[in-house]
Structure 1
């Protein structure tokens, strides 16, 4: 089947279709993440019915009265959960044109006594904030997570083999994966706002992102070279990309690619659901000992203004403090003042 898309389409079902199909999948995965850093993924087990349910739940949430959404605004959560109003998040220091709800792994918050001897990133453990006015929203989100997480694990194991490691190489770092999910609405723009960036140019800081976008909604652009390239959504598929922890762990052989989202023109809107699949907060993501033929093809340069740490929790805390300075000022002023992140 021929697809007119800017990067490869991989079918996760090929991993269960015999040794030759699985080998072709791993080869294509390695090539895509080395050359572009992005690929499309189908065959994940997400059904059309679940896609419809997610899109309906997202639209119902964003259509709630403002007071219902602000009842779970993220400034009430020291754990960076909940609703963010338009203009409430920043990318590379610039305000994003979107509203969203952040849903992370569900955890119990640690007490000040428990946190006293732990690294600061453990402050992010805590409960999610759910809209009381839309009870079925939580059920749909949990169904989505239950379907996407196993697909992400399967992809990770294929990746390990493609890089010359045993399939379980990453497993110990994902015993309690830090799954961070957003349900996002990009409002349409008009007049002087036309061309506004829903999300500014950036690389993802973690390991793996699986992005679902409502059918027909464009806006995602990637920059694998000197020019921006449109990356339209693929029906019943995900747009996947790797983050800077993987780029760092492979000494630059795998590429974390800069991307952005251009807000749609009114009256259109754009709904998307990214899932950031990352290791446990305290995981020290290992550098891979690549085969010689791969090792010589990589190049990695650290950005001194945006250091990628070995421990995932440090990267996540850094990005959240920068993206949500209001939450940081209210709940973590000591970290802001220390300048450590």
Structure 2
């Protein structure tokens, strides 16, 4: 049956003597839903609160200071994106954002082009926002540790050895952190859908990475998850939780046993007021994306799921969709597919650094729409 709510998992149970119960709940979430809330995480409340405060303050910098680290300056897709600069499903998203990642050196000149996905960040000047870099790196380090633990928990939930997934990750591993601000739609005349109730914060999509760990930093509703019947299920913020979801990479690794679920952010006016009708201001959202090895191809997916776990998935269409993931989304290679996804989402970056790939990708997208 299609899910009608998002399950809540308690991370404090992910150890003996309650680990078996936790793994059963995790198995249900990743096979049948693709989303879950996670409470009692090991992330320090002090670290998280400091990061949230400075993350919100980052958007208050003068526009010229934000443009000094604009993403178009980075071939690694890291930096600032203006309101409306990102595209999902050929439609403009109505959000302003900063992208950061695990601090890594640029790839060598002879590395495949898609290795440029990883590289050094563009940091705002320390004098503009003192302590921001330290706060972000502390938070990212704690979420990264949680993600590393989940590699093993996911494996165990699928009745695999705890280390079964380790070989699918780069060393060093890249985690990507977005800081996103969704203004109330009626407050921004630059929106192409100004005043419209159907303006998208981000359009319907599936994340491309292994897992996503989302902190909904403000009490706004608007995040919606689509079940297998096509219904949109609200995923409102629950205090002291993260929203965790499966990406296409994990779906592909498990040949469709784990579910990458379509989701979106709706900017309907009612999502920007509280229960009494008082305005909530902008919505702030801080997802962390857990990447996997960029060099993986469909030929290198050697993960063998136990039959009794694979048999939990009865929907053959879901399985066949997953089998086509590398062909239609990853183009036979994780890194190449991820690069294509990035340049079509951030077309200003694509036009500057990857113009030929951008032209080819946009042509393919338009053909699929016809």
Aligned length: 331
* Other-structure match for 2:145: 150
The answer on 1:280 being equivalent to 2:293 is yes
The answer on 1:127 being equivalent to 2:125 is no
Pairing of 1:170-189 with structure 2 (within 5 A): 170-174=165-169, 175-189=171-185
3-state SS of 1:35 partner: helix
Return closer, same or farther for 1:166/1:309 CA change in 2, 3 Å cut-off. Answer: farther
- Structure 2 unaligned residues grouped into runs of 5+: 187-193, 273-278, 314-318, 365-370
* Other-structure match for 2:37: 40
Among 94, 105, 109, which residue is 1:115 paired with? Answer: 109
* Other-structure match for 2:13: 14
* Other-structure match for 2:80: 83
* Other-structure match for 1:199: 202
Q: Is the 8 A contact 2:340 2:357 kept in 1?
A: no
3-state SS of 1:115 partner: coil
State how far apart, in whole Å, the 2-side matches of 1:281 and 1:106 are.
16
Return closer, same or farther for 1:96/1:306 CA change in 2, 3 Å cut-off. Answer: farther
State how far apart, in whole Å, the 1-side matches of 2:332 and 2:40 are.
32
User: Offset of 1:300 from its aligned partner?
Assistant: 2.9
3-state SS of 2:256 partner: coil
The answer on 1:290 being equivalent to 2:305 is yes
Pairing of 1:115-264 with structure 2 (within 5 A): 115-116=109-110, 118-132=111-125, 133-174=128-169, 175-190=171-186, 192-224=195-227, 225-263=229-267
Among 312, 319, 341, which residue is 2:334 paired with? Answer: 312
Return closer, same or farther for 1:297/1:204 CA change in 2, 3 Å cut-off. Answer: same
Q: CA RMSD in A?
A: 2.2
State how far apart, in whole Å, the 1-side matches of 2:160 and 2:87 are.
37
TM-score, length basis structure 2? 0.84
User: Offset of 1:172 from its aligned partner?
Assistant: 2.5
TM-score, length basis structure 1? 0.90
* Other-structure match for 2:368: none
